[in-house]
Amino acid sequence: MTLSKTFAPILLLILQLAFFPANADDNEITTPPPPTIAASAYLLQDYHTGKILAENNADTKLAPASLTKIMTVYVVFREISNGHLHLDDLANISQKAWKTSGSRMFVEVNKPVKIEDLLKGVIIQSGNDASVALAEHVAGSEETFAEMMNQHAARLGMTNSHFKNSDGLPMEDHYTTARDLATLTSALIREFPDYYAWFSQKEFTYNKITQHNRNQLLARDESVDGVKTGFTDDAGYCLVTSALREGMRLISVVMGAQSANARANENQNLLNYGFRFFESHRLYQGKTALSEAKVWKGNDQTVPLGLAADLFVTIPRRHYNDLKAEINIDKKITAPINEGEKQGSVSVTLKNEPLLVRDLIALKSVEPGNIARRLYDGVLMMMEKSDDGK
């Protein structure tokens, strides 16, 4: 039996409708699950939005080993930014610092070392001796420095972390989590972008001894620019990485892997997954006028409205055109207005599903107008209210 030339196209259409219904969404959002990661805990996060793309046991308290040093250098960077410390200051090396076991920068007792060199010794060489030397110089003792570490952890919202030393050597009640480490790393990159460049340095020479950065991904992946390795028998092999590709930065944390190669491979797997299946976009620039609103009873008749900070979104790849943003301005904005006050909102949806909402704020203050302006606008407002009630 052969099909007629008239009937064949009709049959083909019937088959197409059966397997591909007319209302099928060709642009449906489908994202595969993250890879299986062989580690005690892990987390993958978009730096700009904070969106978590993959995680497991991210809030489990674990020994951090030398990942502790991320907090150590963060505290020192804060002291420098506050003017309490300078890169060319000299720190004396104590007997305790010199004797610290584990990975070392090879500082010498009573031989002063510049703060900048000690920082590079911590960041690049993972020197435990350098960590203790910094702690003692900043706080007088490592115990007091640990209190500073915990104060900064609390301020940053690292709710499941507690530090007892500056180098990460095993100690009771010394712990953190994958999520807290991502929070800390985000703060370090955001607050100290110039100093963060040291985390991408592949080697450092001190006292005629050259040591290489233990982060293997710095050599494998040109988009990776940090952050820190760690290892003890208790903690296993740990690595926090950050990578920047086409304006999108991801932070990956792996704790408790089985080997140095494994921690690098698992971080690479997480990063590749995030960059392959997600994209990040800045929709609006912070502190920039998105709209102007009428002001009642003010010495200015309008006020510029915008966002307090840049607005980024993280979405599945190939769905940028499905984003929609809507600006909603409060009614009857009345002086006085303080800069930074909420005067509306910006809502973003993805395929009509709510994605995020941010406050729309006044970008400048508006003082009350003179008595004539206030009386005149008051009458107009009452007239409008009366008209609305009809």
Q: Which residues are catalytic?
A: 66, 69, 126
* Alpha-carbon gap, residue 154 to 131, rounded angstroms: 21
* Alpha-carbon gap, residue 45 to 300, rounded angstroms: 43
- What's the DSSP call for residue 176? B
The DSSP annotation for 192-249 comes to -HHHHGGGG--EEEETTEEEE-S-THHHH-TTEEEEEEEEETTTEEEEEEEEEETTEE
Contact 163, 153 (CB under 8 A): yes
Contact 133, 93 (CB under 8 A): yes
* Alpha-carbon gap, residue 385 to 387, rounded angstroms: 5
Q: Cis (ω within 30 of 0) for the bond into 379?
A: no
List the structure tokens of 377.
Answer: 């606008």
Contact 94, 141 (CB under 8 A): no
Of residues 381, 388, 382, the one with CA closest to residue 332: 381
